[in-house]
Amino acid sequence: MALLDAYKIKHRTVEADGLSIFYREAGMPDAPVLLLLHGFPSSSHSFRNIMSPLAEVARVVAPDLPGFGFTEAPDGYDYTFKNIGRTIDAFTEAVGIERLFLYIHDFGAPVAYHLALARPERVLGLIIQNGNAHEEGLGQSCDAAKAYWAEPTPENRAALPRLA
């Protein structure tokens, strides 16, 4: 892979934990891995401006969490932090990540905590930006998402906040 190509963000999809997971990736395949987990109401798109610079020193991988961005939001999926953490663990295996640094923001924090607690030997470090450790800390701003996770209907999806 040419060095300049390594800095370009690639858009990919992989099957993991029974879901089609969309992700962005940049960097050399043999570099240390930095997994970026986004906040609410966002997606991996929020990392688009930092991925190429980070790719100079890391393999940067940013999935859309289940129900966000271009990743599936299937009926019957258990939208808990623990389960999303399990899905992201399966995602890391599907894309060949063995050990990783976690850069986590907002909603991605409790997902990463479950991932780290389930398999601490894989986690090389945590970079936390405005991360919450408890579901109670999500507040009213997440009520629309909670309703959608409980019942992923078109009406509940339409009530989700839109990014500008």
* Cα gap 38→102, rounded to integer Å: 11
Give me the torsion for CA of 144, 148, 151, 155, rounded to 10°: 80
pTM: 0.80
Q: Is residue 161 included in any domain, yes or no?
A: no
Taking alpha carbons only, the member of 105, 84, 132 closest to residue 41 is 105
Q: 34 forms bridges with which residues in the sheet?
A: 60, 101
Q: Is residue 119 included in any domain, yes or no?
A: yes
The CATH number of the domain holding residue 19 is: 3.40.50.1820
Domain count, the chain: 1
pLDDT confidence tier of residue 135, bands split at 50, 70 and 90 = low
Q: State yes or no: pLDDT of 106 exceeds 80.
A: yes
- pLDDT tens sequence across 47-56: 999 999 999 9
Q: Could you tell me the CA-to-CA distances from 42 to 1, 45, 47, 98, 107 in Å, in that order?
A: 30, 7, 10, 26, 9
Q: Range with the lowest mean pLDDT among 31-35, 97-101, 150-154?
A: 150-154
Q: Is residue 24 included in any domain, yes or no?
A: yes
- pLDDT tens sequence across 24-83: 999 999 999 999 999 888 999 999 999 999 999 999 999 999 999 999 988 889 988 899
pLDDT of residue 26: 97
Q: Range with the lowest mean pLDDT among 66-70, 90-94, 160-164?
A: 160-164
Q: Is residue 150 included in any domain, yes or no?
A: no
Q: Is residue 155 included in any domain, yes or no?
A: no
Which amino acid would we find at residue 49? N
- In 38-156, the DSSP E strands lie at 59-63, 100-105, 123-129
pLDDT confidence tier of residue 4, bands split at 50, 70 and 90 = low
Give the pairing of strands 19-26 and 33-37: unpaired
Q: Is residue 49 included in any domain, yes or no?
A: yes
Q: Is residue 158 included in any domain, yes or no?
A: no
